[in-house]
Amino acid sequence: MTDFSGFGEPTVHQSEDDEADDSDSEDIAVGTSSTSTSSATVPPYSIAKKAPFRVSVDSLEREFGAANFLSHLETFLGDNKILPRRFHDISASFSVYKRVVIKIPAVVQVSSTITNDPIRAVRESPSSGLKRAKPGHFDTVLARKSQPSTPPGRLSLEGLFPARVRAIFALPVEYGFFSTPLAYVEWYKPLSQFDTDLGMYKIAPAFHNHTRRASIIPVTQISRSCHLIPRFPRHVDRTLTSDDILDKCQSFYSNCYLRHIDFVLLRGVK
């Protein structure tokens, strides 16, 4: 019998092996959005001062799954009015991080302290000597597609979309200046279908012309991690594992029962 119990757990728990391998977690920089007027608008974050990897666009697309990366980068730069005139002539490598930690403000109903919420986007690691191969790990989150013009409610789902983070990176100086780290995300459909029996939202990947909807956003638009539970059909593919199910499954539930702070948000607890 296939075990899916580990699916999505790394957004909350981290093993000793992972901790020992997190070479980018020792030297931490803390940031907030320069446009933020309230901690409820954009949660602060922490990230390594120095990214552990320098990778090419080809690597971002092949190894991280960030399809059409340059096209989405061009859109992001244009939307932020910093698109270089000779964009397509630029050749640069990207500083890529393993993770960013979102600082979720205390939720008065269930907590009195900030929750450190690690969001990871790590490519597959091949075996080397005695070191075992590790599958890629790309966390799912709730994020905003754009910066809200007015601060949203602390516990409001308005403007939040489920997404999967494929890469966390810094903008190379060749493309201009943007102080906040960026994330390449694949979008799921809006949180609009609520299963009243289970008390969870139904979620499915969002497509446009048979291609996953994706975009590049500042990490400050990531609200928190979210845990997705596969919606299995009557006959389950027994070859599925926790390593590939996000790629192969086309329907999920948003799990509001994993953490108290998720229950408060996703069930609308006042």
Q: Give the residue carrying structure tokens 């009195």.
A: 112
Residue from 68, 28, 50, 43 nearest 166 by CA = 68
Q: Give the residue carrying structure tokens 């450190």.
A: 116
pLDDT score at 248: 86
pLDDT score at 269: 67
pLDDT score at 236: 82
Instruction: Check if the beta carbon of residue 127 is closer than 8 Å to that of residue 150.
Output: no
pLDDT score at 36: 44
Global pTM? 0.84
156-168 pLDDT, tens digit each: 898 999 999 999 9
Instruction: Check if the beta carbon of residue 79 is closer than 8 Å to that of residue 221.
Output: no
pLDDT score at 130: 86
Instruction: Check if the beta carbon of residue 199 is closer than 8 Å to that of residue 267.
Output: yes
The rounded Cα 55 to chain-centroid distance in angstroms is: 19
Supply φ then ψ for residue 74, to 5 degrees: -60, -40
> Which stretches of the chain score pLDDT less than 50?
1-23, 25-26, 34-42
CA 221 – CA 182 distance, rounded (Å): 9
pLDDT score at 241: 82
pLDDT score at 244: 84
Residue 235's contacts (CB-CB under 8 Å, 6 or more residues apart) are none
CB burial class (10 A; 0-12, 13-18, 19+) of residue 32?
middle
pLDDT score at 32: 57
- Per DSSP bridges, beta strands 137-138 and 222-225 are unpaired
pLDDT score at 11: 39
18-57 pLDDT, tens digit each: 434 444 544 566 675 544 444 444 458 999 999 999 999 9
pLDDT score at 270: 53
CA distances 199 to 107, 129, 241, 254, 256, Å, are 20, 47, 25, 9, 8
Q: What is the dihedral of CA 219, 216, 192, 264, to 10 degrees?
A: -10
Instruction: Check if the beta carbon of residue 165 is closer than 8 Å to that of residue 183.
Output: yes
139-152 pLDDT, tens digit each: 999 999 998 877 76
Q: DSSP secondary-structure letter at 180?
A: S
Instruction: Check if the beta carbon of residue 199 is closer than 8 Å to that of residue 269.
Output: no
pLDDT score at 141: 98
Domain ranges in the chain? Answer: 9-13+25-124+134-266
Residue 67 — left, alpha, or beta (φ > 0 → left; ψ -120 to 50 → alpha)?
Answer: beta
pLDDT score at 188: 97
